[in-house]
């Protein structure tokens, strides 16, 4: 019976027309011609920050609508290149090959992010664990397999490290976190640079007990459920790490000091590395020199084409980005503190402004 009824419904042209009209009515009515619609897509690390920025910004700029999407840095770069979106978000700067291929593509730093090395050592998560790039590289290469290996004990003579297999967790999806973590390993350990190198995905050496996790939430979950595991996790997830009572390591920097992730240590790293930023702002901030410099920090980039579809769109993009990097606008502590990011240093703001001015 019910089948019959549905059939007759579908057959009736009047009803079909009515249904169509209903659907059309649901469709958002074309807004005023002046409204400019910008789309942001890319890095899942930048996504929370954009979601803080956009409501505040659009509240004072009624002519602009901005849609945000968390898809991944690679997607952000690809869609900005293909003119599908105006703003691509990426944790990594554009590769020289990509810049060569698309000369009009700009990578503009918006803020500074950092990364933690976290561990789950039952009973020891509150004690400071010291780690270095070469030791981490050896762990992820499978050369150091137990927590009480001599190389780890040498860095932590006071810790009662257990004889337990280390379970290294890495991202199995493409990720800016993998990019900066493998840069830390590469810049501090020539052997890692030669064998594996760095990238948003690398060909991880096969290690017994290794775990692949998806996204930063997946990393936190894998670490929390696997005692004796170790992971690299973006600073935005620090509250999740604290909630799960997991450990956070002190890292050896280029100067040979062990440093913890603090505002001051991130600023020290920025201060020593940022002045070397070239005009196109493609630079790694990882493993910066300086006694207090925290070794794993990076610029978070927006990827924009210098030539936009129209003058109006270009102006809207410029205005939004200028606001985003301004210390009184998007770089204000009210936004950045909530995601654990650090503001751009003065010089970087100037350079970013210069690049933003190129958008036309």
Partner 1 sequence: MWFRRLLAFFALLVPLVLLAIAAFLVFYAWPAIHYNGLDFLWRDTWNIGNQYANPVQRHGETVMPGAQFGILFLVAGTLGSALIALLFAFPLGLGAALFLSEAVPHRFGHFVSFFVELLAGIPSVVFGLWGIVFLIPFLSHHVFPILARIFHFIPFLARPIGSGYGLLTSSLVLCLMIVPFITATLRDALRSQSTEMREAGISLGATRFEVATRILLPGQKTALAGATMLAFGRALGETMAVLMVSGNALNYLPHNVYSPISTMAAFIVAQLDSALADPTGMAVRSLAEIAVLLLVISLITNGIARFLIGMLKEHTL
- Per CB under 8 A, residues contacting partner 1 are 71-75, 77-78, 92, 95-98, 100-101, 167, 172-175, 197-204, 206, 208-209, 211-214, 221-222, 225-226
In the complex, the smallest distance separating the C-beta of residue 214 from partner 1, rounded to whole angstroms, is 6
Which residue in the block uniquely carries the two structure tokens 């692949």?
A: 212
Tokens of 276: 């070397």
Q: Toward partner 1, which CB reaches closer, 57 or 187?
A: 187
Spatial neighbors of 112 by CB under 8 A, at least 6 apart, are 266, 270, 285, 297, 298, 299, 300, 341, 342, 343, 344
In the complex, the smallest distance separating the C-beta of residue 63 from partner 1, rounded to whole angstroms, is 32
Starting at the edge strand that comes first in sequence, how are the strands of the sheet with 250-252 ordered? 130-131, 250-252, 258-259
Question: Do 355 and 99 form a contact (C-beta atoms < 8 A)?
Answer: no
Q: Toward partner 1, which CB reaches closer, 86 or 200?
A: 200
Tokens of 62: 């009624």
SS3 139: helix
In the complex, the smallest distance separating the C-beta of residue 353 from partner 1, rounded to whole angstroms, is 26
Q: Toward partner 1, which CB reaches closer, 173 or 319?
A: 173
In the complex, the smallest distance separating the C-beta of residue 172 from partner 1, rounded to whole angstroms, is 3
Which residue in the block uniquely carries the two structure tokens 């700067």?
A: 93
Q: Toward partner 1, which CB reaches closer, 21 or 101?
A: 101
Q: Toward partner 1, which CB reaches closer, 140 or 320?
A: 140
Q: Toward partner 1, which CB reaches closer, 79 or 86?
A: 79
Q: How would you classify the pairing of strands 229-234 and 105-119?
A: antiparallel
In the complex, the smallest distance separating the C-beta of residue 142 from partner 1, rounded to whole angstroms, is 11
In the complex, the smallest distance separating the C-beta of residue 73 from partner 1, rounded to whole angstroms, is 7
Tokens of 321: 């980005």
Spatial CA neighbour of 70 closest among 54, 100, 48: 48
């Amino acid at each position: 019976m019910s089948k019959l009824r549905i059939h007759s419904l579908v057959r009736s042209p009047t009803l079909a027309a009515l249904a169509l009209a209903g659907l059309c009515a649901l469709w958002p009515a074309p807004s005023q011609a002046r409204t400019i619609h910008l789309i942001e897509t890319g890095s899942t690390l930048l996504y929370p920050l954009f979601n803080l920025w956009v409501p505040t910004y659009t509240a004072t700029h009624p002519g602009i609508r901005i849609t945000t999407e968390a898809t991944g840095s690679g997607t952000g770069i690809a869609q900005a290149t293909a003119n599908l979106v105006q703003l691509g978000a990426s944790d990594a700067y554009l590769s020289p090959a990509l810049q060569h291929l698309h000369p009009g593509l700009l990578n503009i730093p918006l803020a500074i992010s950092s990364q933690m090395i976290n561990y789950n050592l039952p009973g020891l998560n509150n004690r400071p664990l010291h780690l270095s790039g070469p030791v981490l590289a050896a762990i992820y290469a499978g050369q150091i397999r137990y927590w009480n290996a001599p190389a780890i004990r040498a860095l932590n003579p006071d810790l009662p490290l257990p004889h337990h297999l280390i379970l290294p967790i890495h991202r199995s999806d493409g990720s800016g976190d993998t990019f900066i973590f493998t840069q830390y390993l590469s810049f501090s350990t020539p052997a890692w640079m030669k064998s594996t190198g760095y990238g948003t995905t690398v060909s991880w050496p096969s290690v017994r007990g290794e775990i692949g996790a998806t996204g930063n939430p997946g990393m936190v979950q894998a670490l929390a459920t696997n005692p004796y595991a170790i992971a690299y996790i973006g600073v935005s997830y620090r509250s999740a790490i604290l909630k799960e009572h997991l450990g956070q390591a002190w890292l050896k920097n280029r100067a040979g000091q062990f440093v913890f992730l603090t505002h001051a240590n991130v600023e020290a790293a920025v201060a020593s590395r940022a002045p070397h930023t070239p005009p196109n702002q493609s630079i790694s901030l990882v493993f910066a020199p300086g006694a207090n410099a925290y070794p794993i920090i990076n610029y978070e980039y927006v990827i924009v084409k210098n030539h936009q579809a129209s003058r109006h769109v270009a102006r809207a993009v410029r205005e939004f980005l200028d606001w985003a990097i301004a210390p009184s606008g998007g770089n204000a502590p009210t936004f950045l503190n909530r995601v654990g990011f650090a503001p751009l240093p003065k010089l970087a703001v100037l350079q970013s402004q210069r690049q933003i001015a190129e958008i036309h």
